[in-house]
Chains A and B, each alone.
Chain A
Amino acid sequence: MKRALFALALLLAAAPALAVNPDEILSDPGLEALARTITRQLRCVVCQNQSIDDSEANLARDMRRVVRTRVLAGDGERQVLAFMVARYGDFVLLDPPFKPKTYALWFGPWVVLALAGMIALLWFRVKRSVAAPTSVPQLSAAERTRLDALLAEIDGEPHARGRERKP
């Protein structure tokens, strides 16, 4: 009785960890590996952000079966994916296709990175030009040698001492 109740409870439960089942697995390891590569790229269309490889939903199981049937029939990765897109639309692809409506998606990160890099470069330029405006009178040769001598002195031991003192 208890066992029957338990079985009933499990049946009623949205039984988890039902992902790929032993009876689904293809006997040819090469084809099975191909099927797994494909099922990892397909979204379970009734789940929240899960691939059909991970999902425990019944629909995901059906979709896995379809993928394996196509693979057994000799379809390649591209063909199976195209078949699924024809059935479910682009929504089924976890790897969004590269087309006009996803240009902003695919280029976005790189545009942000390039913009950020450009702003940083500009910032360096502006800072340098502010720090050394061209209108400032240039040093004479004598002044320059004296400055170099002073700088050399500063670059000597006091610098090292400065590092020592730093926390």
Chain B
Amino acid sequence: MERGVGQAMIVELGHFALVLGLMVALVQAWLPLLGAARGDRALMAVAVPAAQTQALLLLIAFFALMHAFVVSDFSVANVFNNSHTAKPLLYKVAGTWASHEGSMLLWVLILALFGAAVASFGRNLPPELKARALAVQGMIALAFLAFIVFTSNPFARIDPAPLEGRDLNPLLQDPGLAFHPPLLYLGYVGFSMAFSFAAAALIEGRIDAAWARWVRPWTLAAWACLTGGIALGSWWAYYELGWGGWWFWDPVENASFMPWLLGTALLHSAIVVEKRDTLRAWTILLAILTFSLSLMGTFLVRSGVLTSVHTFAADPARGLFILGILVIAIGGSLTLFAIRAPTLKSGGLFAPISREGGLLLNNLLLAAAAATVFIGTLYPLLIDALSQGGDKVSVGPPFFNATFVPIMIPLLLALAVGPMLAWKRGNLSAAFRRLAPAAAAAMAVTLLAFLLAPRGPVLAPFGLGLAAWLVVGGLMTLVERTGLFAVTVSQSWARLIGLPRGAFGLALAHAGIGIVVAGISGSAWQEEHIVSLKTGERLTIAGTVLSFVAVTEGDGQNYQYLRGEFVQLRGERILGQMWPERRSYPVTRTGTTEAAIDTSVLGDLYLVLGEGDESGAYTVRAYFNPLAPWMWIGALIMMFGGFVSLTDTRYRVGAPARAPSRAAVAAAAAAE
């Protein structure tokens, strides 16, 4: 009984902290703004403790909810609907953010943590800019906290409390998916920093190189997390859904992919603002659009509008609320932009063939790619809404292959060239001369692929060639900057040590894309065998013989399983064993397949156990997915590249003393 009362207290404290957080956001949203307008330092200074308090309150609320999940307090509706006493601890913890309500709480918590980070570490920011940026953060927090408290309260109670919960969808009981939402949200919400700084700069009417320098680390961190989040989601789909697909152009995937595309563009255009003080208005617009797409992603996924326009109409409270937030945030910021953008004079001149020109091309193509995904994702909704449900179209992978891919290919080709061009005015033929090794590698790899698989898919070898171009091109940026082969090795080494971390980040991220492209191209050679197999029989795939030894049954922590045992043979030599599983979760009456995957450098051997029939034969699906692991490894390298750049002393967020002052940056920009 004692424990029950204590638990009830913890949930109520969490609920109380959440509502108090809403009140604090209310203060944070306008007092600092008023202070900045009046030049009142005391009012502006409210932003810092407000942001910190808000983060603290939301941490309390979040951990109170997590505690309710861990101790299985089914008097909380959210716990009852998404948990079960027999669920493993990891998924009880992850259950905190697996439901709609919990995931929205995680969303605002991350927002508040970012805000608190700016408040605590941004001591060298001009007070007006800081106050305004934190006020904009406060407005976003206010909108989403109101959404949570009024339409999606995670602390809502049930009386009397049920004895047992309904358990979490088994597909979500997976380590990959436990960490997918937090990473994704770090990315989504991280772009809110760029948005807040953009709005603050527009209100202030001043954007310069120093502004870009403050915004870049946040954008970089958000980008790296989003990269990781998307890759994790894709990997999960690959191993969990049971047929080795990894990207479906599903609206939910697209919702996270659009901010990624524009965020990548923002990351690059901010470099131009920082180094050359030009493309300012465009960069501000990108910052606004990137976060707008993050908001729209939240709307698409959370409103139910994706399943059908009509489910949205059936339960309109949540959808309408987010739609309202969306309209106010996007409409408001774009209006502000329209008023203030003409006053932003752009700075330095540059020729079309130059580093800036390359970055501009990157922006054009990425923006067009994002627009393509946007159109493809929303078109079915548009047609459905316009025809009142009378007419429907589907937009599937063939559309994106015909539009998105042709836009990305020139981008990837140009990607290796851009970093080889000088600022202001570049020399294209010199850049190509420096890239000769990359071109040679690309041709060699393409030829080799054709020789090894002469009757395979025609485009895949070119894809591998493109991958080689990107990887070698990425590494060539380091070769170029260290003067390797031009000066002595020890001199090169000394230069390599002296290079800023950003240079390594660039090389890693660019090479990482190449590795991803290789993985994608490899999937064109997928081999598939679907057979009906009895124990004792064999099947052959990609030169490997799989012998079906036995089927066993058993109990897991909260499921029953049927497990196949296979032995991998080459000749009569045993290479290893594989255990594909089918699981059945009695509480939710659903099942999952757990594919057995044997990973090597060349690819994945992917084995799925299907249904059995009366004669004792089982449907067995075996796939060989060439180079599949390269996709996740490449994405990991990209993300790592982002974090390496983040450690660059130039962008160190937590070292305000060493960060250059506004005057120093202006002087440096003038000197360049």
Question: Which chain B residue has the least Cβ–Cβ distance from A165?
Answer: B671
Interface centre among B250, B365, B582 (most CB of A within 10 A): B582
Structural contact, B364 and A116, CB atoms closer than 8 A: yes
Structural contact, B393 and A112, CB atoms closer than 8 A: no
Q: How many cross-chain pairs have Cβ atoms below 8 Å apart between A and B?
A: 147
Structural contact, A109 and B611, CB atoms closer than 8 A: no
Structural contact, A96 and B394, CB atoms closer than 8 A: yes
Structural contact, B393 and A17, CB atoms closer than 8 A: no
Given known contacts A16-B242, A95-B396, is B371 in contact with A21 (CB within 8 Å)? no
Looking at the assembled complex, report how far the CB atom of A128 sits from the nearest CB atom of chain B, in whole angstroms.
8
**A15 vs B619: C-alpha distance in the bound complex, in angstroms?**
13
Structural contact, B352 and A124, CB atoms closer than 8 A: yes
Question: Which chain B residue has the least Cβ–Cβ distance from A131?
Answer: B349
A120 CB contacts on chain B under 8 angstroms? 360, 364
CB neighbors of A among B370-406 (8 A) = 371-372, 375-376, 379, 383, 391-399, 402-404
CB neighbors of B among A106-159 (8 A) = 106, 108-110, 112-113, 116-117, 120, 124, 127-128, 131
**A3 vs B391: C-alpha distance in the bound complex, in angstroms?**
47
Looking at the assembled complex, report how far the CB atom of A164 sits from the nearest CB atom of chain B, in whole angstroms.
10
Structural contact, B562 and A17, CB atoms closer than 8 A: no
Q: Does B591 make an interface contact (CB < 8 A)?
A: yes
Structural contact, A90 and B619, CB atoms closer than 8 A: no
Looking at the assembled complex, report how far the CB atom of A26 sits from the nearest CB atom of chain B, in whole angstroms.
12
Question: Which chain B residue has the least Cβ–Cβ distance from A119?
Answer: B364
Looking at the assembled complex, report how far the CB atom of B354 sits from the nearest CB atom of chain A, in whole angstroms.
11
Structural contact, A117 and B364, CB atoms closer than 8 A: yes
Structural contact, B364 and A102, CB atoms closer than 8 A: no
- Residue-wise, chain B 590-617 has the 8 Å CB interface mask toward A (1 for contact) of 1111000000000000001011000000
Structural contact, B396 and A14, CB atoms closer than 8 A: no
Structural contact, B586 and A9, CB atoms closer than 8 A: yes
Structural contact, A108 and B586, CB atoms closer than 8 A: no
- Residue-wise, chain A 82-105 has the 8 Å CB interface mask toward B (1 for contact) of 000000011111111000011011
Q: Does A13 make an interface contact (CB < 8 A)?
A: yes
Given known contacts A13-B589, A16-B592, A16-B593, is B396 in contact with A51 (CB within 8 Å)? yes
Name the contact of A113 in the complex, choosing from B364, B585, B593 (C-beta under 8 A). Answer: B364
B393 CB contacts on chain A under 8 angstroms? 90-91, 93, 96, 101-102, 105
Structural contact, A22 and B532, CB atoms closer than 8 A: yes
Q: Does A30 make an interface contact (CB < 8 A)?
A: no
CB neighbors of B among A33-67 (8 A) = 41, 43, 48-51, 54
Q: Does B540 make an interface contact (CB < 8 A)?
A: no
Q: Does B54 make an interface contact (CB < 8 A)?
A: no
Looking at the assembled complex, report how far the CB atom of A33 sits from the nearest CB atom of chain B, in whole angstroms.
11
Q: Does B122 make an interface contact (CB < 8 A)?
A: no
Given known contacts A18-B611, A49-B251, A120-B360, is B530 in contact with A89 (CB within 8 Å)? no
Structural contact, B530 and A92, CB atoms closer than 8 A: no
A22 CB contacts on chain B under 8 angstroms? 530-532, 619
Question: Which chain A residue has the least Cβ–Cβ distance from B588?
Answer: A13
Question: Which chain A residue has the least Cβ–Cβ distance from B586?
Answer: A9
A16 CB contacts on chain B under 8 angstroms? 241-242, 591-593
**A20 vs B531: C-alpha distance in the bound complex, in angstroms?**
10
Structural contact, A113 and B407, CB atoms closer than 8 A: yes
Question: Which chain A residue has the least Cβ–Cβ distance from B561?
Answer: A6
Structural contact, A6 and B562, CB atoms closer than 8 A: yes
CB neighbors of A among B529-553 (8 A) = 530-532, 553
Q: Does B248 make an interface contact (CB < 8 A)?
A: yes
**A25 vs B586: C-alpha distance in the bound complex, in angstroms?**
32
Looking at the assembled complex, report how far the CB atom of B500 sits from the nearest CB atom of chain A, in whole angstroms.
5
Name the contact of A109 in the complex, choosing from B368, B394, B589, B608 (C-beta under 8 A). Answer: B368
**A131 vs B396: C-alpha distance in the bound complex, in angstroms?**
47
Interface centre among B250, B365, B402, B584 (most CB of A within 10 A): B584
B250 CB contacts on chain A under 8 angstroms? 48-49
Looking at the assembled complex, report how far the CB atom of B580 sits from the nearest CB atom of chain A, in whole angstroms.
10
Q: Does B127 make an interface contact (CB < 8 A)?
A: no
**A92 vs B392: C-alpha distance in the bound complex, in angstroms?**
9
Structural contact, A116 and B394, CB atoms closer than 8 A: no
**A116 vs B241: C-alpha distance in the bound complex, in angstroms?**
39
**A20 vs B250: C-alpha distance in the bound complex, in angstroms?**
21
Q: Does A29 make an interface contact (CB < 8 A)?
A: no
CB neighbors of A among B174-188 (8 A) = none
Q: Does A72 make an interface contact (CB < 8 A)?
A: no
> Can you list 16 A-B contacts with CB-CB less than 8 angstroms, sorted by A residue number?
A3-B553, A13-B591, A15-B591, A16-B241, A17-B242, A17-B593, A19-B621, A48-B307, A49-B251, A90-B392, A95-B402, A96-B379, A101-B393, A109-B368, A109-B403, A116-B367
Q: Which residues of B line the A interface, CB within 8 A?
A: 241-243, 245, 248-251, 306-307, 346, 349, 352, 360, 364-365, 367-368, 371-372, 375-376, 379, 383, 391-399, 402-404, 407, 500, 530-532, 553, 560, 562, 582, 584-586, 589-593, 608, 610-611, 619, 621, 650
Known contacts A14-B591, A51-B396, A95-B399; 9 additional CB pairs below 8 A are A10-B591, A20-B530, A21-B530, A22-B619, A89-B392, A90-B392, A90-B393, A102-B393, A109-B403
